[in-house]
Chains A and B, each alone.
Chain A
Amino acid sequence: MASVLDAGSGIIRKREDIMIETPLIEVHDLVKYFPLGGSLLKKPHSWVKAVNGVSFKVEKGETFGVVGESGCGKTTLGRLILGLISPSSGRIEFDGKDFSTLNNTEMRSVRRRMQIIFQDPYSSLDPRMKVFSIITEPMRSIKDLSRNSRRELAADLLKRVGLRPEDLDKYPHEFSGGQRQRIGIARSICMRPELIVADEPVSSLDVSIQAQVINLMAKLREDYNLSYIFISHDLRVVNYLCNKIAVMYLGAIVELAPKHCFTTIARHPYTRALLESVPQPNPHQRGKLSPMEGDVSSPINLPSGCTFHTRCHYATDKCRKIAPPLLQVEPGHYVACWLNQGRGFEDY
């Protein structure tokens, strides 16, 4: 890619010919298969196709939501983007830099610009470290910071996430789940990252605490001009916080739409079924409770054609044979479904 990598501190890097901002993250046809039953000398007998050809872009300052049911590959996608595991094939570019071309030192400097927030605030904090050490652990790679200035920084971070500076010398067990998640968030913003991958950050929290953490993440997004990749199974939360929403099913994106009236424009039968399955907190709108039969197919033996055809009410022979491509139906809105291409959505 013809991108100018200016060595200075400029945040916006531009392409030579056309003056477009490079997306912060660009993913091309990403694939990750995990082997099953293999060993040093034996070939694996099958593969779990966790991520199966995913492409998207995340612009600076954008919050990109990834929704899907368990096993759809959303967590694997998050780990691929952070470079924690390497893809089977496909390309990931962070700020125009292709991961596969970077050496270890360069990779480290890229990693510094992205961070993660984990799902479980209990297992993601070391129980034997004090909050101060937990938060400043990422900073230790910068050697020129004295202990005092690290403490000052950490105290400031705690205040920003709604905890008190006195909490620096406490251990994780002294905090509730919501407070622990705040500590995890403080740790992730301490290096002033540009991208945070948040993997189900609120799903283990109670509703009232969930709202506190979501509000905090929205505030930090403005304070630090952060981009998030927000991974969740909860459509309500994703729809609330994200600018763009990608719906994943069995390792592939089936629909990608801007948040703007997502609930009304979503077209893929799977997205519609997901939306209808969310129980509405309104007893006056008691809907049909079960819009979709069956279980998710196994990611080891993916169904032929469109992977959703086994649960789709509208599946035709074409769906069973040929996988539909992810095509643009309106500006910024992509759907992978034969129903939605060429034909209108009225008869749906």
Chain B
Amino acid sequence: MNHLLEVDNLHVQFDTPQGPASAVDGASFHISHGETLGLVGESGCGKTVTSLSILGLIPSPPGYIKADRILFKGRNLLNLSSEDVRKIRGREIAMIFQEPMTSLNPVLPIGRQVAEPLIAHKGISKAKAFKEAIKWLDYVKIPEARKRLYDYPHQLSGGMRQRIMIAMAMVCHPQLLIADEPTTALDVTIQAQILSLIAGLKEELNMSVLLITHDLGVVAQMADRVLVMYAGEIVEEADVMSLYDRPFHPYTEGLLRSMPILDKQIGDKLHRLTEISGIAPCTTGLTQGCKFADRCPFAFPLCSEKRPELLEVKDGQRARCWLRDYPEKRRHHD
């Protein structure tokens, strides 16, 4: 197996006043070279924690990472010293965050911030780094990049700030880009611009992307393969076509059906949106069975007794659901 990144049995726990809460509960996945992997789920399902633990960015305490291994280009990140991880972070694995205003330094001019990774990782001179920074600012379509070098983040719009973040992430030519909700804070037309920028960069540099989002539309447009997370577990894994054509896990299915669709609405008659009843479970304490059981329309006694494993259902599509073994329990009521 020659994947760019391989994560095996990742557990992340946080100490809370209510006892240990497990944010990620046994996640295993891989990202191949040049692939865009979508990681979808609702707030609190562990998507961001998963990505932060790859980069070793979980503060400990209160967080504890336990995993069989996290292999990046054949090296186990868990065995590296924090100094060595720091050399990888920002150079070979870069990250874009959701809120560009809070993740840029407000008191440093943007040119300096974009050049910083080059100076830190490659040890090149400031002048050269600034030249490279201008090149990247041009690339991410910051108008008049040379003049903008000494602007501060507050002088830029949200979309521009996200472009700066992308330029910062890209200067060292990373092989893996982790984009955590990169467009959630942006307007829809700006979102489209940023997504097309990321897609273009990925093509051009043959980079892999881990795209974390709650928006199933964004995933459908961008990803090659998709992981669906629920309450700290991966509940479904499939290539993007299979996932949207024939979702297996009732949670995935519910997510897809609870979205209002824009086109092909005939007439004024309102079809009721399918809702997933209830709310996501609390992650403290142990649950025996499937974590989705109490919201699942097909749940049967076994579901709350025994936890299902993530197993193949069809052609590489995997799901964590007892319906795989008991397909007759899937009955639609509409």
Q: List chain A positions with a Cβ less than 8 A from chain B.
A: 69-70, 176, 178-179, 206-212, 214-215, 218, 233-237, 239-241, 243, 259-261, 263, 273-284, 286-293, 295-296
**Shortest CB distance A197–B (Å):** 20
Known: A241-B260, A281-B244, A291-B192; 18 extra A-B contacts, CB below 8 A, are A176-B279, A178-B279, A179-B279, A206-B214, A207-B258, A208-B254, A211-B258, A211-B273, A214-B273, A215-B273, A236-B259, A260-B267, A275-B262, A279-B217, A282-B220, A289-B193, A289-B196, A292-B189
Which chain A residues lie closer than 8 Å to B216 at the CB level?
A: 207, 281
Q: List chain B positions with a Cβ less than 8 A from chain A.
A: 42-43, 157, 159-160, 187-193, 195-196, 199, 214-221, 223, 240-241, 243-244, 254-256, 258-263, 265-268, 270, 272-277, 279-280
**Shortest CB distance B212–A (Å):** 14
Chain B CB count within 10 A is highest, among A215, A218, A243, for A215
Chain B CB count within 10 A is highest, among A176, A279, A296, for A279
**Shortest CB distance B232–A (Å):** 15
Q: List 11 A-B contacts (CB under 8 A).
A: A179-B279, A206-B42, A210-B258, A218-B272, A233-B187, A263-B265, A277-B189, A280-B217, A281-B256, A283-B241, A295-B190
Which 6 A-B pairs rank lowest in CB-CB distance, beginning with the nearest? A279-B217, A240-B260, A211-B258, A289-B196, A208-B276, A206-B42
**Shortest CB distance A260–B (Å):** 6
Write the chain B residue with the least CB distance to A259. Answer: B268
User: Are B196 and A290 closer than 8 Å at their CB atoms?
Assistant: yes
User: Are A283 and B221 closer than 8 Å at their CB atoms?
Assistant: yes
**Shortest CB distance A66–B (Å):** 15
A278-B276 contact in complex given A259-B268, A289-B192, C-beta closer than 8 Å: no
User: Are A278 and B260 closer than 8 Å at their CB atoms?
Assistant: no
User: Are A283 and B244 closer than 8 Å at their CB atoms?
Assistant: yes
User: Are B279 and A277 closer than 8 Å at their CB atoms?
Assistant: no
Taking a contact as CB atoms closer than 8 A, the residue among B157, B191, B243, B262 that contacts A235 in the complex is B262
A69-B263 contact in complex given A179-B279, A212-B275, A283-B244, C-beta closer than 8 Å: no
A239-B217 contact in complex given A69-B188, A277-B192, A292-B189, C-beta closer than 8 Å: no
**Shortest CB distance B292–A (Å):** 11
A211-B160 contact in complex given A69-B188, A280-B220, A286-B221, C-beta closer than 8 Å: no
**Shortest CB distance B166–A (Å):** 14
**Shortest CB distance A339–B (Å):** 19
User: Are A280 and B42 closer than 8 Å at their CB atoms?
Assistant: no
A209-B241 contact in complex given A260-B268, A278-B188, C-beta closer than 8 Å: no
User: Are B261 and A209 closer than 8 Å at their CB atoms?
Assistant: no
**Shortest CB distance A214–B (Å):** 6
A212-B277 contact in complex given A263-B262, A280-B217, A283-B241, C-beta closer than 8 Å: yes
**Shortest CB distance B188–A (Å):** 5
**Complex CA distance for A69 and B266, rounded to whole angstroms:** 26
**Complex CA distance for A69 and B159, rounded to whole angstroms:** 12
**Shortest CB distance A278–B (Å):** 6
Taking a contact as CB atoms closer than 8 A, the residue among A208, A212, A279, A293 that contacts B255 in the complex is A208
Write the chain B residue with the least CB distance to A260. Answer: B268
User: Are B193 and A293 closer than 8 Å at their CB atoms?
Assistant: yes
Write the chain B residue with the least CB distance to A284. Answer: B241
Which chain B residues lie closer than 8 Å to A218 at the CB level?
A: 270, 272
Which chain A residues lie closer than 8 Å to B266 at the CB level?
A: 261
